[in-house]
Amino acid sequence: MVERGFCVVRSGSGGNCSIVWDKSDIIVIDFGISAIKLSKKINELEIGDRQLSVFVTHEHTDHSSGLSAASSKLKADIYLRERTALALNTDKYYRMNGELAIGNFLIESHKIPHDAVDPVGYVIRTREKKISVFSDMGQFPDHLIEPLSDSDILALESNHDVDMLVNGKYHEKLKKRILGPFGHLSNEQTGEALAKIVSAETKVVLLHISRENNKPDLALSHVKGYLDNRDIRYNSIECALQETGSSVYELG
């Protein structure tokens, strides 16, 4: 059993959820999956005796559809930005502003460019480690460089391959949305972003890989190629998948 760790439970348009835990608490980033799926993962990890706290990045259903079940069935505390709560039409939440502490975790929210009412990504800190989870954004703004730099674990969107998207079956309006400044990061954009923020110790997890407009090996090839060609060092890179998530990372 890993007493303190991180993993992506699910990632993609079919539902998103990541967890960070220690001996007392589980911090859940997004709940776009069923309570059953999260409970199964928690049981597999043998960490079922901890308090659940759920933080949602934005109101889109692939990030928020399981919130009601999280609250009623899993007795989780729900933390939302006020405008996100209004968009979800819920009053059963704690307000999430800039940062707050839960147990041994400090959770920071940082605004991101996406077509939602108040989208954010999260940086979770312990005394020893820094974990960043950022997905669903059409560009990587400079104001994120400092808060994400030197993360021990960095989970960052690598949604689409531009050629696959442009030549694919999506309607032109949807293509423009994804490619726009409030859409999703391409493999190339992710490589460029990582080049600004990774360190030699950073373990990278690529998130929200499109089933229709990307492939895990293509995302890895683009991102690793971009970094390796510039001699930018990192610890490891993997893709989080829709059905299986990511590896389990131990936090010391």
Fold of 5-247: Metallo-beta-lactamase; Chain A (3.60.15)
Query: Residue 131: pLDDT above 90?
Result: yes
* CA gap 151, 6 in Å, rounded: 13
If phi over 0 gives left and psi between -120 and 50 gives alpha, with beta otherwise, what is residue 154?
beta
**Can you give the pLDDT at residue 166?**
97
Query: Residue 98: pLDDT above 90?
Result: no
Q: What is the pLDDT of residues 160-195, one digit of tens each?
A: 999 999 999 999 999 999 999 999 999 999 999 999
Q: Within a 10 A sphere around the Cβ of 212, how many other Cβ atoms?
A: 11
**Can you give the pLDDT at residue 252?**
83
**Can you give the pLDDT at residue 18?**
98
Helix/strand/coil (H, E, C) string of 152-194?
CEEEEECCECHHHHHCCCCCHHHHHHHHCCCCCCEHHHHHHHH
Average pLDDT, the chain: 97
**Can you give the pLDDT at residue 93?**
96
Q: What is the pLDDT of residues 224-251, one digit of tens each?
A: 999 999 999 999 999 999 999 999 999 9
**Can you give the pLDDT at residue 16?**
98
Q: What is the pLDDT of residues 60-94, one digit of tens each?
A: 999 999 999 999 999 999 999 999 999 999 999 99
Residue 153 — very low, low, confident or very high, per pLDDT cuts 50/70/90? Answer: very high
Query: Residue 54: pLDDT above 90?
Result: yes
Q: What is the pLDDT of residues 197-220, one digit of tens each?
A: 999 999 999 999 999 999 999 999
**Can you give the pLDDT at residue 84?**
98
